[in-house]
Amino acid sequence: MKKISLLLSIVFFTLSCSENKIDVNQKESKVDFIKNQNQQKKYKLKNINSVQEWLEYDQLLEYIKEINDENFSMFIDNDIFLKKFFNDANKSIPDDLNLPEVTSRLLVIETDFWLFIDKLNSLNEKEKLDPLIEKINISFSNLNFQIDNVYTKKK
């Protein structure tokens, strides 16, 4: 009788552990789904013609894609290049976009990039990059929104 109860206990324990494992996997899937949903809520530029002549905008868009794809190689120990890029981006804003609401958003993106680069270069803080990536994406969405607002007001 003791052997049967011991066997039943082992079977019950094994089943309960596997249920917990399934539950943890389901929770992780939900977290991934929520992350994907949040990434899809980014504001994309509607009026692409407004930035056609602004080459640095396209370059910034590529940098953000690289960050979202977790390809950080070009950002590691490349401070001089990034400083030059952001200086050029600020200087080359098209005249009809060179307004405080756009330049301030570009400055916020630059600040977020520097915070990201700082964390990236400190090797022991790699796991804390996700909030900074999200912050860059939100800042870029705000820039896109302001660019569209400028063109909507001009019409």
Query: Each residue of 56-115: pLDDT tens digit?
Result: 999 999 999 999 988 888 888 788 899 999 999 999 999 989 999 999 999 999 999 999
In a shared domain, residues 97 and 123 = yes
The helix or strand, by DSSP H or E, that contains position 102, with its residue range, turns out to be helix 100-121
- Region 50-55: what's the mean pLDDT? 86
In a shared domain, residues 99 and 76 = yes
In a shared domain, residues 74 and 114 = yes
Please check whether residue 101 is in contact with residue 3, taking contact to mean a CB–CB distance below 8 angstroms: no
In a shared domain, residues 21 and 50 = no
> pLDDT-based confidence at 49, cuts 50/70/90?
confident
In a shared domain, residues 58 and 24 = no
**In angstroms, rounded to a whole number, what is the distance separating the alpha carbons of residues 133 and 139?**
10
In a shared domain, residues 86 and 141 = yes
Residues 6+ apart with CB under 8 A from 149: 101
Question: By residue range, what is the domain housing residue 23?
Answer: 1-41
| Count: domains in the chain | 2
In a shared domain, residues 78 and 59 = yes
Residue identified by tokens 């039943």 is 8
In a shared domain, residues 37 and 50 = no
What pLDDT score was predicted for residue 53?
87
Q: Which residue has the higher pLDDT, 65 or 22?
A: 65
> pLDDT-based confidence at 6, cuts 50/70/90?
low
pTM for the model? 0.69
